[in-house]
Amino acid sequence: MGSSSTYYSLEFLTVVAVSVFLITHANNVVKETGKKDKKCDLYDGRWVLDESYPLYSSKQCPLILEQFNCMGNGRPDHDYEKYRWQPNNCNLPRWDVREFGERMRGKRMMFVGDSLSLNQWQSLACMTMMIQSPPRPRAAYNNPTKSGPLSTIFFPQLNFTLMYMRNALIVDIAKEKGGKVLKLDSVATSAKQWLESDILIFDTWHWWLHTGRKQPWDQIQDGNVIRKDMDRLAAYEKALTTLTKWIDQNVDAKKIKIFFQGVSPDHWNSSDCGTPLTQRCAGQPEPLVKPVEATGKNRANVVLEEVLRKTRKPIHLLDINEMSQFRVDGHPSMYGNPRKIGMDCTHWCLPGVPDVWNELLYATFLGL
């Protein structure tokens, strides 16, 4: 995927209660519920076409990367921008940028993860720009700055700092004699900067699956054992455990709120979509009628839930996996660049699905 942006490159690319929430007594994973109604699960619902969406247009948000700007790259259909999430037994609070802005005033929020985290970060930045009325995006924020893996957008009207730290695997990778070593038991390299935030939103999974030239490490260190490779799901679980132990030992839950983005599904399997192999997720004008996983459960997302269940500090899970499985129509497909070259069934068009993830994040803030 190419990009016309001179600021970003592909190397850089790479949460719910209205007024109350239920914390399971067996663990500190926050399971969001509706207003005084434990039967109301905001993640149990359906996608509904709503002509009052999207919340912004791609033309109003100059921050959107070419890879996510499907409309700007010539995608002819528009309905993928107009679907909202409707829970079955309650309503998801509609995004109110002024309410969000007041809650974020003077705060620092950091997304940490891979390019799906970047996708959500850019979505929230675009949503926050609409604080200007009428919308004047360029007046709403200072130009993004980049320092190493950290990119920052500052909204002076709100004194709100919105950051994205590129860390696809969450744990450290160190350059040593044997090459790049993935250290499953360390987050020391990035953690100091994490503690400078008021809100942290983590995400990882997709880069654990890469092999060959795309694999970002040469060796894996697990305690005192160094090996060339290991079961990727097991390595992912160990990395998550390292992160949650760090959170339990270092985070003051009264000062820092922790969220974890659930595993974002892809739609590379043509059989899931009923399309030819060469088409994959392309040409899909509407959501699927059922999730792509037979049980609705992605195995990496199940591991994530199990690890978070063991933590002592509260971690709010943005459980977006199953709901997003329906949205085969929301990927850039061939519209990740103006030349219509390549296929992207991993990331999401903006405006689009990540905006709803951020509405769920906003709904959680209303309940905190």
Q: Kindly provide the residue ranges of all beta strands, DSSP E only, lying in 197-313, ordered along the sequence.
A: 199-202, 219-222, 225-227, 257-261
Query: In the β-sheet with 225-227, what is the strand arrangement from edge to edge?
Result: 172-176, 179-183, 219-222, 225-227
The alpha carbons of the chain give a radius of gyration, in whole angstroms, of 20
104 sits in which H/E element: helix 97-104
Q: Residue for token digits 């906003």?
A: 362
Both structure tokens of 40: 């109301």
- Distance of alpha carbon 119 from alpha carbon 89, whole angstroms: 29
Give CA angle at 96 (94, 99), nearest 5°: 135
Give Cα separations from 146 to 78, 123, 182, 310 (angstroms).
Answer: 32, 18, 24, 35
What pairs with residue 146 in β-bridges? Answer: 151
Beta strands in the chain, from DSSP E residues, in sequence order = 22-23, 29-31, 45-49, 83-87, 108-113, 145-147, 150-155, 160-166, 172-176, 179-183, 199-202, 219-222, 225-227, 257-261, 315-318
Q: Which pair of structure tokens corresponds to residue 32?
A: 């969001």
Catalytic residues: 115, 344, 347
Tokens for 245, please give them. Answer: 């132990």
